[in-house]
Amino acid sequence: MNDSETQNDRCQGGAKQWRPRSGKTDARGVRWLHWPFLPFAGTLVLTATPAWSSPCQTVEDSVLFPRDPTLGDFFGQGVAVTEDLAFVAEPNDNGGQGNSIINAGAVHLFERTPAGWKWRQELLRQDIVTSMVFGNSLAARDGYVVVGAFPYGEKGAAAGVAYIFESVGGMWVEVAKLLPSQLEAFDAFGISVAVSGETILVGASGDDDLAQDRGAAYVYDRGPSGWGIVQKVIPTDPSGAVLLGAGMTCAIDGNVLAISATGQIPFFTYREVFVFERINGTWIQTALLVDPTPLSGDQFAYGLAVDGDTIAVGEPAYFASSGSRPGSVFIFERSGPAPGGWSLKQEIMGGAATTNDNFGGSVDLEGDTLVVGASSGKQGANYTGRAYVFERKNGVWVEKDRLVPSKMADFLGFGDSVAVCKSQILVGAFADDPYDTGIATGSAYVFDRPLGSSFCVGDVNSTGIPATITATGSLAARAGDLELFAQDLPSGEFGLFMVARDAAAIPMAAGSQNNLCLGGQVGYFRDSLGSTKKKGRLRYRVDTGSLPLATRPSILAGSTWYFQGWYRDHLSVDRSKFTPALRITFE
C-alpha cells in the first residue's frame, strides 16, 4: 500500500493539509532490525500533521451508508456522535429493513472499532405506525440516546412523542417513552431534543398552555425510579410581546438551557433565544438573546448550541426579506457572574459562504470548537454543501477548516446536520446517493479530529522546520482505535514511535538532538520502525490492548499516556532527533 492509497493529501484550496484516511496499516510490515543506538521501546497511533492550519477544504475520513437504501429516506437528516458511537437518523425510513410502513422512521447506530466504523444496530419502535417519523429529532450522550417522533399523534394529531434508548447487555433497547399526560393534538412534542448529563430537554413548539401555539419545553431528569418530568419551561418576553413556537429548537449543557421563540410564522422566522439556568434545582429564565440586526425571515436560532458559558445561534437567512444572504452565527458568552450576564461576543460568517448557502442552518459546540453547516454551499458548479470548523483562540473565533465530501455532486444536503465530539465531526447529507444508483437515500460523513495535546517542542531538522506529531482515532478506550502520525521528517530516513506513562525532559538522550520527553519506563513500538519515504512521514496504528512495556498494559478509561517519535537525520550534525511529544487522556 503506497502513500497515495493510505493518506489523504487533497486540499482543494488554501494551505496544504495532510490528513490520514481511515483503514488498516501497511500490510507489508517492516522487518525489525536491532539498532544499538535506540534507547527505548514502545507502541501506539500518532499523527504529525499540520492539520487544522489555515482554512482548507478537507474531505472525509469515513462515510456511513444506509443498509437498505430507499429514495427519500433522508438518512443523515439528524446526526449525533459520542467518542466511539455515531447515531444517524433516517426519519422517512419504512420501519426498518424488510418493512413497508411508510415514513415510520429509524435511527442507525455505528460503532468505531480498530477496523473502522461498523454498523451495529437499527433502533426501532415496536409499535411503529405510518408517518411516525421516528428520528425527526435526535440527541445522544455516552450511554443513552433520545429520539423524537413528530408528527406522530398518540395523544392526538401531531401531538408528538420521544423515546430513550440505552445500551443493555451490548444491545440498545428502549427504556422510556416520554409522553406528558397533558399533551394534546398539535403540541409538536419532540420537534426538538437535547441532552446533557442526566437531563433531557424536549421542545413542544405547539403547546397551548398560555396561548395557542405559544410553545414550551419539558425538562426530564433521571432519578432512582427512571426518567421523569421535573419542569415545564415557558419563555416570556419582558416587553410583553406575544411569542409563538417556543421550543422549535433547543439546546442544553449543564445548568444552562436555551430555547427559541418567535412572534412571526414559527417555521420561517426565529427572533429570540431564551436562556434558563438551573438555580437550586429550578429552571429560571435569566436572559433574552436577540438578533442584533433583525430582518423578516432571517431564521435567527434555526441552529442552536450551548457549551458551558457559550451559546451559538445560527441564522441561515435563507428567507430574509432583504434578499437571501449567506447567513451568520452569533456567539453569546457570559460576561458577568452567573446567573445571567450574557452578551453578544462575535458574529461569525464563513469565509467561502455565498448567497443562499444556508450557513448557520446547523451548529454544534465542543469546548473551543464550533462546527457550522452550510447545506447549500457551492462547490464549483454544484450546490453540494459544506461545513465549517471554527476554533476559539485568545477569546476570538477564527475559521480553521472547511469540510466537504469527496463526492462533488449537486444538492447533497451536506451540512444539513452536524455533530462534534473530541474525537470526530459527523456531517449529515440527507440527499446523497452513496451507492451511485440514482437513489438519493442520504449518508453521513466522518471527519477525524486530532487527539491529545502536543508538548516539548522539537528542533528544526534538515527540512528547515521541526517535525510534528499527531494522533487520530477515538478517546474512548474501549474503541481500541488509535493511530499515530509524524510529519515534516527528512525523506528517505527511518524512525519509530515510543510510549510511556510519564512525561519528562531528558536533553540529548542517547546522543539525539533536543529532548526525550517521555519519563519512567519507555517502550518503543518495534513494528513502527519504518522509512519516512519521499514525503517524510511515519504512520502507525497502535495495539491499545498490549503496549510495549514490561507488563504489556492496555489503554484503559481514565489513563493518560505520552507518545513521541524518534527519527534519523543524516544531513544534520547530530544525525538523529525527536519529534515533539503528545499527551492523550482516554475516557
Instruction: Write down the pTM of the prediction.
Output: 0.87
Query: What's the rounded mean pLDDT across residues 457-461?
Result: 90
By mean pLDDT, which of 320-329, 414-423, 560-569 is the weakest? 320-329
Given a cut of 80, is residue 467 above it in pLDDT? yes
Interval 127-184: pLDDT, tens: 666 666 799 999 999 899 999 998 877 888 889 999 999 999 889 999 999 999 999 9
Contact 247, 258 (CB under 8 A): no
Confidence of residue 436 (pLDDT cuts 50, 70, 90): confident
- Do the bridges between strand 134-141 and strand 250-253 make them parallel or antiparallel, or are there none, so unpaired? unpaired
Higher pLDDT, 368 or 133: 368
Q: Tally the residues of the chain.
A: 587
Question: Would the pLDDT of 435 be above 90?
Answer: no
pLDDT of 475 strictly over 90: yes
Above 80 in pLDDT, residue 1?
Answer: no
393: pLDDT strictly greater than 80: yes
pLDDT of 80 > 80? The answer is: yes
96: left (phi over 0), alpha (psi -120 to 50) or beta: left
What is the grid cell recorded at 2?
503506497
Q: What is the pLDDT of residues 327-367, one digit of tens each?
A: 999 999 999 899 999 999 999 998 887 777 899 999 999 99
Rounded CA gap, 549 and 448, in Å?
28
Q: What are 323's three cell numbers?
A: 434578499
Separation in Å, CA 174 to CA 149, 151, 166, 275 = 14, 20, 7, 30
Asked if pLDDT for residue 472 goes beyond 50, the answer is: yes
Q: What is the pLDDT of residue 406?
A: 92
Q: Please, which pLDDT band fits residue 21 given cuts at 50, 70 and 90?
A: very low
Lowest mean pLDDT among 2-6, 162-166, 564-568, 569-573: 2-6
Average pLDDT score over the chain: 85
* Predicted confidence (pLDDT) at residue 13 exceeds the cutoff of 50: no
Mean pLDDT of 261-285: 80
Q: What percent of the chain has pLDDT over 90?
A: 65
From residue 434, how far is each of 387, 427, 446 by CA, in Å? 18, 14, 14
| Rounded-to-integer distance, Cα 239 and Cα 262, Å | 13
Average pLDDT rounded to a whole number, residues 41-65:
56
**What residue type is assigned to position 297 of the chain?**
G
DSSP 452: S
In which element (H, E) is residue 4 found? helix 3-6
Out of 49-53, 58-62, 318-322, 432-436, pick the least confident: 49-53
Cα-to-chain-centroid distance, residue 554: 26
Q: What is the rounded distance in angstroms from the CA atom of residue 273 to the CA atom of residue 65?
A: 35
Among 28-42, 253-267, 507-521, the range of highest mean pLDDT: 507-521
Mean pLDDT of 560-575: 91
**pLDDT value of residue 56:** 72
Stretch (H or E) spanning 276: strand 272-279
The confidence score (pLDDT) of residue 81 equals: 98
pLDDT digits (tens, 9 = 90+) for 283-324: 999 999 998 888 777 789 999 999 999 999 999 975 555 556
pLDDT in tens, 484-501: 999 999 999 999 999 999
Interval 204-251: pLDDT, tens: 999 988 888 889 999 999 999 999 999 999 998 887 777 888 999 999
Quick one: which H or E segment has residue 353?
none
Mean pLDDT of 245-262: 94
At 69 the pLDDT is 76
